[in-house]
Structure 1
């Protein structure tokens, strides 16, 4: 008898020691979010095992669920002795795995959770569920009638969701995807599993896209998920023009849309904001037209391009039939446009944009006046739009930049800087271009984007943006490849220089006539075939070609189909840039020789009348691959 008692005591002591070891709280993250190859979030709540075992210990100390807990822990001890821990697995993880095994094999179960129709029942342990969340703790140990029942119905959840929640109670693990994120969140809310709610919010915040952002925002507002609400709101602010094209956009409230428009982070142009607002109005015109004044006051109408204002805004039926107070806003905006036109402009300057130094993008946008040898600065692009590649053009004395990312799948973004507004604003994205290797130029009142591609595939794409309509449209495809193209406008036509593949020196020169909307081949390949890539600029009906890899500079006369070569300057500007200003050719930036990391800071000027090069100064921010255009600036800038 004594031996048996001694044996039982030693087993009790072993169990107690195991429980104490398992109950020790290890300092580690409360939860772990990872994404699998399918893009699903895998929740591993590393604090869950400690939470369960701490609850069991507390119930044991209070004398509750005593027989069940004793049986469960004895089984867990036996399992722990036979089952080696997995990698990075603590004793509490082994214990929780053993408890789940009890559930799966229905050992010591004393409760069944049923769905509303009672068709599905999930056997489990009262003590484990009561330890897993405040909801179950109150239900099973709060003096309610469920405390003594062997079956409990939870009618707010489907069988599939309820099963996943019980699995989470026993494992601390859950997989969340786009199809179950909201239902799992609601289940976590009902059953009081805050980590599940947090994981669902984390997943939804990473799934934000124009098509679902409004729905996620409304979900976050409904359930007071502040972090998710802020992320969804900010996403819509940054993508409002594209969100306005989604099916869910119509469900935004007036107050929310006004907040989105007047947000300090709102970077879309007034044209894009106006179109977004009109889209919202047209869903329910009759009930919403009374709000028109509120929105017109928040859109900076005077900063619109005049052509868009006259052809789109003033001709919009909702606006033209608006009450007098709305008409007054339109009239005042037009008067400000007129006043701005009368103020005029005063001087020309060279804008130097983009490029890099020591492998780092140069964000400063420099303004250089060669006549005064003075430097100034323009605002930088927003940080996220710095991109990897850019195309730059001037149109109607505004700067247009196409910014693209590292991946071909990333949409290129179009940004515009206006002199009178002194700010960058985002415009509709190009429709087909994904790579800033495309060449940008302007003529006939439109911005043209032609060629692109990081691959060796032939690319014949071209499109143009019309500020008067705020729309892109495709132009006819070119006859031959436009890979790594350089474009320039001369004599009303767009000349494009590009080549075939990475191992070819065959340069194709083509010209596009915007008036006839047709392409033609230019017989210039034989002359320029020895060089692989160019920058181009035009002046006095001549095209100047600057080789990106040599000091060679050629001049082509499209009218007479003649070539000649310029004298070479003193310095080298490998991967530099050229720009025409005040009847002269300016060259700056680039490396001071092939294979040299040193950036050449000098600015050189070629005078066609005297056929000489002169070094005239140093760059404020030296860089390779800079982009340059000329711009007319108001006095004082």
Structure 2
């Protein structure tokens, strides 16, 4: 057999390929290399197999001259770090768990509602949305080792809504389900759902339901709802006490209302009448409360005379007219007006006098005097819309004085704190429009894009955040 360079024998192409097959180093393919004096066929790089030893791999790399793996790129500096943030990952992650829930995959806990309907869920998902379930699955509780949890306080539809929220981040709140949904969210500690329900109720508080809303808010520790219902209750008390639910108000709450310094009543008759009406509704149980309630009003009353007059009459003989007559008979000759501070006030926002005015002026009816509030932060605009909702005053749109640029900005003035905050911008920039409130929403109507175009009358609105 002929010899090649370095004394290696020359082999035919067929024998080389056959040898590689036998050695398990390739699939028989060969690479033709042109030399100065001879030709050699060497095997192409074969795919890695578990049967090859490190020595064989090293030998193959030397024989072919081809590196086993690509060489790592070099950097001038080793301090550089790239952090990749996949913005779609949270959505995809939630979608995956939603699919697992729908298909019943990897579920490890069963929830059973009041009607015995069961929901197959994942502990990790429930614990991520609810501190109630997090504590249940991590603390030393008997439910920790159970595969099924009974929730007899929660209805089928409400539990289904909460479970769907955990897997979709969406929940439907209506006037029919908001109360039950808030109660369940409070029980199971779905904090975000409870907050959303509270904001829904805040937008629907009025003189008809503010008493019940206030009690509901106190029980479930809803601070915003309690504040708004109390504001309406005190500022519009003369409308509130004429509602049917006023007759069922507790003694403690009625005394709380009548004792407030900011109760909005102007004459003593306006405060005495609700006391008469409330007592007459259940004389047997409520007649003894009359003295504390009248003292809460701080009226000039002859209490000795009233006690004597009541003692001479049997409770079942007392009706609304007789109670009213006894109270007015017990008033001193020169009764004083009730020392309550009216909560109504008039606000004048901005204006124009050779240039836009940012001032806020407030008329106090108690002192019959004007006081000045905090100026608007943005004082270069005019022709905006102004409306009020709750304790807030909303200043919407307008245009810049220097270039007549229509604006979509909204500024909110809190009359209780005398502070301005920037609100959510409107969908469209506008000026010379009208702003009103209705049903907990702020509406902007009308638009004048330029001085030379016709006004466009269309409606936009946004939910006010009280």
TM-score, normalisation: structure 1: 0.36
